[in-house]
Structure 1
Amino acid sequence: MKKLRYFLPLFLAAFATLAIMSGLASEDTLEIFGNANMDDTINADDEAYIQGIIGGTNKPTEFADANYDGTVDEKDIEQIRQIIAGEEKNLTIMQIIQPHSAPSATREPVTVPLPIKSIAALTGTYGPEMLCALGEEDKIVAIVNDVKKRGELRAFINDTPEVGKTTEWDMEKILTLKPDIVLAYAIYDYSKERKILQEAGIPLVQLNFHVPETYKNETRKLGWMLNKRERVEQLIDFEQEHMDFIKDRVKDLKDEEKPRVFGESYKDLQTGSGNSVSRAIEPCGGINIFKEINGTKEIDPEEVLKKNPQVIIKMTFLTYIPQSGYDATNSSQMAEKAKDIMNRTGWENMDAVKNSRVYILSSDAASLHPSIFNSYVAKWLHPELFEDMDPVAIHNEWLQKFLGEDFKGVYGYPLMEVK
């Protein structure tokens, strides 16, 4: 039997470099071991590619070692066949982990025994919502505090045990529950928790479902782990359709046609590069007046006045405005917040205030479906371009299709007319 053997850390680093240099790697690459030809799926083409590696006609790639044993051989072909049939006993995925304090991301493989029957979904509300959207809510055995406040999810997880905060877990309780995996954010450092979980034989899987740039890849990884591949593609297609709709409408705008926008975070006079509203401004045809800011920063109100935004979008959620999101019965608190912003000292001559273009938007509209959030933003920035787009209808479509629920509540204020 002809084999290729590698010392594993060198194997991964070398293959990643080779894949990039050869042009095989892309943002659409399915980052699961077994995707030997580095496309967006695992199929018979990967079997053939492995044969080429063994025969010396194909270059090794980062994900060619399907069974992740440090050797590329016929056993990897058998693993690929099992993956295709949904009969694999384990699956190794690549995690892209970058805590807020880290200057760059690290790539860390994790192997997960299959099938997965129980999950501690500790990725805030995003993990539980993703599992519910995939129809896997019965696998959720633990969540973090406050998830039950999300009205959209309450019916699915109302009796699920809580095991602490997003960044402060009750490890004793988690170990008692014995989940098959723990699902967590990739934006926090859980190295201490990982060590404890590893000793108990529980894999820690870190994925981000809330970042538009990584949504497709991260969602696919979970879908393949849970053998929910078709459902995952439906989620991805929904996002792609509505994101592309916005992109197509704003692509030819000149800079002078793009409004200057102040995207305010949850806290007053605070903005940040990583929040949903800041990420949405440019893709929706606006100019972010604080684009140069990395991370989160307090803003001098005089600096906002100096930049004179034409639009202000304030992000919120129920901790800051209780009457927001799914359970809101009216828009009075959102309206009051918009009024408070317009009444800030010295802001009466600001373009956004003079023209009453101050908007409030719940981050629950973003969650793991940023296309919905961006639909609100795009319509506010360019009402004439999006007069036929209805963010509420788009939101309702997602809720009905993926959670089996009808839209209710108040996510954005004020809403604009649909023609």
Structure 2
Amino acid sequence: MHIQFKAAGLSAALLLATVWPALAEKISLKDVTGRDVEVEVPVKHVILGEGRQIYFLAALDKTNPFEHVVGWRDDLPKADPETYKAYLAKYPDIAKLPTFGGMKDGTFDIEQAVTLKPDVILMNVDAKTATEEAGYIEKLAKVGIPLVYVDFREKPMENTEPSMRVMGKLMGKEQLAEDFIKFRADAIKVVTDKLEAAKPARPVVFVERAGGYSDDCCMSFGNENFGKMVEIAGGTNMAKDIIPGTFGTVNPEQIVASNPDQIIVTGGMWEAFVPGGAWVGVGYGADLTEAKRKLEALTKRPAFTGVKAVEDGNVHAIWHQFYNNPYQFVAIQEIAKWLHPDLFKDLDPEATFKELHARFLPLDYKPGYFVSLKGE
């Protein structure tokens, strides 16, 4: 960024010389794909390639996480309407933010993006192939707009920390990013240290991704995302040897044959996508009585017939969006408590989530993220 001024007074020049370097600095950073990207930081104008990226941007700005957002993808009101409503109530101007379609579905409007003059566009790594095929990086580079990849979905247990560090550099909040990373690591260590000391038997766990979202059964996770969270929490992910990547599908017969000890269904408020669907509506301020009713209804499907987890009542639902944000440590604590209730009887994941909100997030905490048929 260049500033031109006429010789209209040495004092003004000296003021700019002393103040401006503190405001902006061009740096080179590595995004989570290993790309070297030059960005002027701290960034003042950001386009979010996915609306749910506000989950991690908010962790770095408790006052107003939307202050520097000039545009975002239109997914948050549909994928997580309760969180969107909470942010809208606190920051009503977000209703006026320009919205975009997605890179992967080809509805991202690059001309619109350029007119907003962002300092950076944040993109999830799962959009990388589509972004490259469309030549967006080169097109944006021609007009001086860098694109930075982050990842909280494909390999979140590997990429959450580097992604948060990238965000810290972009926003000029590096120490706050480190504070968050430590909070997250300490919360996970509470689980892993106890498991390492006790070495309990590992129950077999089937995680159903977005159970009830469609009539098909059953989407799940390989050895990443919720699949990895189960392993960290002291379980054996049933699908880790069936699904080669992060996401995939297992057939009902495989579930019956594996006879899992525990079942965890991810859910959300998806009325906008599947009106009146069988999905389990957990999330910010959810009605847990209704969520529990819908969770129980899912156990009547053929895939869960006679399965040990259903017979023993070890069927649970958890907020789907833990799969796409840096708060996975809360999910790990809750899963550990479900899998090893005696070992973790003193662990309080709700308290951890409340502390996360109190220390880092702009919203007040509301329960509703977990429900179980185990009599909680």
**Structure 2 residue aligned with 1:339, among 288, 296, 300?**
296
Q: Does 2:66 align with 1:137?
A: yes
In structure 1, how many angstroms separate the alpha carbons of the residues matched to 2:23 and 2:44?
A: 15
Deviations 1:374-396 (A, max 9, x none): 11111111111111111111111
**Map of 2:318 onto structure 1:** 361
CA distance in 2, matches of 1:415, 1:387: 17
User: What is the rounded CA distance, in whole Å, between the counterparts of 2:375 and 2:308 in structure 1?
Assistant: 22
2:176 aligned residue: 231
- Paired residue for 1:199? 142
* Contact kept in structure 1, 2:280 and 2:295, CA below 8 Å: no
Give the letter for the 1:130 counterpart.
F
Separation in structure 2 between the aligned mates of residue 261 and residue 361 of structure 1, nearest angstrom: 14
Cα contact 2:222–2:248 (8 A) shared by 1: no
Find 2:227's aligned residue among 275, 278, 286. 278
Q: Structure 1 residues 333 and 199 mapped into 2: Cα distance closer, same or farther (>3 Å)?
A: farther
Task: Summarize the Cα distance change of 1:146–1:96 in structure 2 as closer, same or farther, 3 Å threshold.
Answer: closer
* 2:256 aligned residue: 305
Q: Which amino acid aligns with 1:226?
A: M
Gaps of 5+ in 2: 1-20, 212-216
Distance 1:248 1:86 in 2: 42
Residue 289 (1) aligns with residue 226 (2): no
3-state SS of 1:318 partner? coil
Deviation at 1:318, TM superposition (A): 2.0
CA separation of 1:339/1:146 partners in 2, compared to 1, >3 Å: closer, same or farther? same
SS in 2 for 1:188: helix
In the TM superposition, residue 409 of structure 1 has moved relative to its aligned partner by: 4.2
The 1:225–1:132 alpha-carbon spacing in structure 2 relative to 1, beyond 3 Å, is: same
**2:4 matched residue in structure 1:** none
Question: Is 1:286–1:381's contact at 8 Å kept on the other side of the alignment?
Answer: yes
Specify the alignment match of 1:27 in structure 2: none
Q: Residues 162, 415 of structure 1: CA spacing in aligned structure 2 closer, same or farther, 3 A cutoff?
A: farther
395-404 vs 271-280, which moves further: 271-280
Residues 196-249 of structure 1, C-alpha deviations (whole Å, 9 max, x = no match): 211221001111245122222221122123221221111111101101001111
Per the normalisation by structure 1, the TM-score is 0.71
Displacement of 1:124: 4.0
Secondary structure of the equivalent of 1:202? Answer: coil
Give 1:95's match in structure 2, choosing from 6, 11, 31.
Answer: 31
Inter-CA distance 147–275: structure 2 relative to 1 (3 Å threshold): farther
Flag the 1:153–1:417 CA change in 2: closer, same or farther, 3 A. Answer: farther
Residue among 167, 172, 187 paired with 1:242: 187
1:46-102 per-position Cα deviation (integer Å, ceiling 9, x unaligned): xxxxxxxxxxxxxxxxxxxxxxxxxxxxxxxxxxxxxxx9676211111232xxxxx
Percent identity for Structure 1 against Structure 2: 25
CA-to-aligned-CA distance 1:11-44 (integer Å, 9 cap, x gap): xxxxxxxxxxxxxxxxxxxxxxxxxxxxxxxxxx
Residues 162-241 of structure 1 aligned to structure 2 (within 5 Å): 162-165=99-102, 167=104, 168-189=107-128, 190-191=131-132, 192-210=135-153, 211-241=156-186
- Asked if the contact 1:313/1:359 (under 8 Å) is kept, the reply is yes
Output the CA distance in 1 between the equivalents of 2:22 and 2:194: 40
My pick for the range that moved more, 131-140 or 154-163, is 154-163
- The aligned amino acid for 2:344 is F
3-state SS in 2 of match to 1:282: helix
2-side partners of 1:365 and 1:395: how far apart?
12
Matches within 5 A, 1:403-418: 403-414=361-372
Q: How big is the shift at 1:130?
A: 1.9
> Whole-Å Cα distance in 2 between the matches of residues 161 and 233 of structure 1?
31
- Report which stretch shifted further, 224-233 or 274-283: 274-283
Higher deviation after alignment, 86-95 or 355-364: 86-95
Give me the TM-score of the superposition, normalised by structure 2: 0.79
Rounded to whole Å, the distance in 1 between the matches of 2:260 and 2:22 is 52
Give the 3 Å change call, closer, same or farther, for CA 298–224 of structure 1 in structure 2. closer
Partner Cα distance (1:309, 1:375) in 2: 20
Aligned residue identity for 2:185: Q
Contact 1:253–1:285 (8 Å) recurs in 2:
no
Q: Match of 2:266, SS?
A: strand
**Partner Cα separation in structure 2 for residue 250 and residue 298 of structure 1:** 29
Query: Could you tell me how far apart the structure 2 residues matched to 1:416 and 1:404 are?
Result: 32
Q: Would the aligned equivalents of 1:145 and 1:166 in 2 still touch at CA under 8 Å? A: no
Residue 300 of structure 1: how far off its partner (Å): 1.8
Q: How does 1:58-69 map to 2 (within 5 A)?
A: none
The CA RMSD over aligned residues, in Å, is: 2.5
**Whole-angstrom CA distance in 1 between matches of 2:257 and 2:171:** 51
Q: 1:159 aligns with which of 82, 88, 96?
A: 96
**Corresponding residue for residue 306 of structure 2:** 349
CA distance in 1, matches of 2:103, 2:345: 39
- Structure with greater contact order relative to length (CA < 8 Å, sep ≥ 6): 2
Given candidates 223, 244, 269, the residue that maps to 1:318 is 269
One-letter amino acid of the structure 1 residue matched with residue 266 of structure 2: M
Match of 1:114 among 36, 41, 53: 41
CA contact (8 A) 1:272 1:294 kept: no
Measure the CA separation in 2 of the matches of 1:128 and 1:402.
Answer: 13
